[in-house]
Amino acid sequence: MAPVARRAADQLGVLLAQALPAGLYLVATPIGNLGDITLRALATLARANVLCCEDTRHSATLLAHFAISRPLRPYHEHNAQRERPRMLAELAAGKSVALISDAGTPLVSDPGYKLVREALAAGHRVVSLPGPSAALAALTSAGLATDTFLFAGFLPARASARRTRLAELKDVQATLVFFEAPSRLAESLADIGQVLGARDAAVARELTKLYEEVRRGTPAELAGWAAEARPRGEMVVLLGPPLPQTVTDEAIAAKLTTMLSVMSLSEAAKATADDLGIAKARAYDIGVALKRRATGSSGAETA
C-alpha cells in the first residue's frame, strides 16, 4: 500500500474508533467525483445513530461505494414537517443524527434549514462537516472576483419573475452565483444579458465529472453558445460585478459648474465625487482648472 493510502487509512481508523457525540451532523458529500468524500464524512456516516438523506436510493449508492451498510431515512421537502419532530426527539435522547443531501453541502438549495433552526433552539449540538459545494467549486474556477459574492440559488422559472429578480440584483457590487437547470440555461442567459448588460460571466458545468467544463464570456455570448450547443448536465451560472462606468471629464466639469455657483470648491468636489462615484481628488483637480479658467487665478482654495 502506498504511504499516503496507509496514512489516510490510519487517520480514518482513528476517527472510526472514537465515539460520535450526540448532535446533528451536516455532512457534505461529492457533487460528482466520489474521490471528493472526506475522511470525517466517511467516519460520521459510518457511526451516526441515524442517517437521513433526500433520496434513500441515491444515497445508498454512495454508502455502498464506501462499504457503509446502514439504514437510511428520507428527509425531504414533502416529509420534513412529519420527520423533524422525530429527529429532534432522537437528538433529545442523546443520539447522533447525520444529514446528507443528494450531493454537495446540505441546506444549500437543499433541505435542512428548519431542522438546524429547531435543533439549535432546543439546545442541541449542530456540527457542519465541510466538503464539496457546487457554488464554491464554480466560483473558484470561474476566474471572477471572489472577494465578495452573492449566492442567489435558482432564478425563477417564469420569464417575468426571472427578469424582476435580475433587476433587483443589477446593482449588487459582487459576483453573482446562480444554480440553473440545463433546459432553462439559454433563456436565462439571454435575460441576464438584457437585464444586467455586458459583464464578465461564466457557466460551470458538470464540475468534478468527466465532462467538466467552465465556459467564459459575456452573458450574450454564453446565451448564443447555450442556444446552439444545448449543453446538458448540472450547471452553475456566474456573473462578475457590474463594470465600472467611465465618467468623462466633461460630465464632471458640467456637474461641478452647477455646484460651484452655490458651494465652495472643496464641497463641490466632494458632492460631485459622491454623485458620480469618482475619486474626490479627480473632481477637485477639474474644479481647480475650471476656476483658473474663469478667474485667471491659481484656482485652489487657500483656507
DSSP-derived secondary structure letter, 246: P
Nearest-approach distance from CB 146 to ligand SAM, in angstroms? 17
Grid cell for residue 196 = 444586467
Nearest-approach distance from CB 107 to ligand SAM, in angstroms? 7
For ligand SAM, the closer CB: 97 or 204: 204
CA angle 294, 298, 300 (to 5 degrees): 95
For ligand SAM, the closer CB: 128 or 266: 128
For ligand SAM, the closer CB: 179 or 284: 179
Nearest-approach distance from CB 250 to ligand SAM, in angstroms? 45
Nearest-approach distance from CB 152 to ligand SAM, in angstroms? 12
Nearest-approach distance from CB 179 to ligand SAM, in angstroms? 3
- The 10 Å Cβ neighbour count of residue 198 is 12
Sole residue written with cell 425531504: 76
For ligand SAM, the closer CB: 144 or 207: 207
Nearest-angstrom CA–CA distance, 129 and 33 = 18
Say if residue 60 is exposed, middle or buried (CB neighbours under 10 Å; 0-12, 13-18, 19+): middle
**Which residues contact ligand SAM (rule: CB under 6 A)?**
31-32, 101, 103-105, 108-110, 133-134, 179-180, 204-209, 234-236
What is the number of residues in the chain? 303
Beta-bridge partners for 201: 217, 239
Nearest-angstrom CA–CA distance, 100 and 252 = 55
For ligand SAM, the closer CB: 59 or 101: 101
Q: Which residue is closest to ligand SAM by CB? A: 104
